[in-house]
């Protein structure tokens, strides 16, 4: 999910079409080594698509909602965007989510 999050951060920062170096720079800034294959997978899955539409369509598909909370349910909107993007290009291999690319071994973010 860190790759999807980095992609979204680049988009939120005004980069409409993040590339490998953009993802690498964001991940490097928080001490995460960038796996080029995973970053390219995220970029390829999102290339030419409106990230807002990807998020909106996938939230509908998985029954997620966004909106006003009544206070009785737990809302985790920041994670939703990463989950949504991950479902768009899931390979079934979760090995890129281990701490292998985290030199300090202390973060799952």
Q: 35-75, pLDDT tens digit by residue? A: 999 999 999 999 999 999 988 888 888 887 766 455 555 44
pTM of the model: 0.59
Q: Quote the percentage of the chain above a pLDDT of 70.
A: 60
3-state SS of 77-100 is HHHHHHHHHHHHCCCCCCHHHCHH
Q: Which two tokens stand for residue 25?
A: 């720079």
pLDDT in tens, 53-64: 988 888 888 887
Which pLDDT score, from 0 to 100, does residue 66 have?
A: 64
Q: What is the mean pLDDT of the chain?
A: 76
Q: Which two tokens stand for residue 106?
A: 């202390």
Which pLDDT score, from 0 to 100, does residue 108 have?
A: 47
Question: Which of these, 7, 2, 92, 109, lies nearest to 54 by C-alpha position?
Answer: 7
Domains of the chain and any CATH numbers? 2-62 (1.10.10.1410)
Is residue 101 within 8 Å of 34, Cβ to Cβ? yes
Dist. CA 76–CA 29, nearest whole Å: 24
């Amino acid at each position: 999910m860190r790759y999807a999050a980095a992609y979204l951060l680049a988009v939120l920062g005004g980069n409409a079409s993040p590339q490998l170096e953009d993802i690498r720079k964001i991940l490097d800034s928080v001490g995460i080594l960038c796996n080029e294959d995973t970053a390219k997978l995220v970029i390829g899955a999102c290339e030419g698509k409106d990230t807002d539409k990807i998020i909106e369509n996938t939230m509908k598909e998985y029954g997620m909602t966004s909106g006003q909370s009544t206070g009785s349910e737990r809302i985790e909107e920041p994670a939703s965007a990463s989950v949504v993007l991950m479902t768009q290009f899931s390979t079934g291999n979760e090995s890129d989510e281990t701490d292998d690319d985290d030199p300090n071994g202390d973060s799952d973010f």
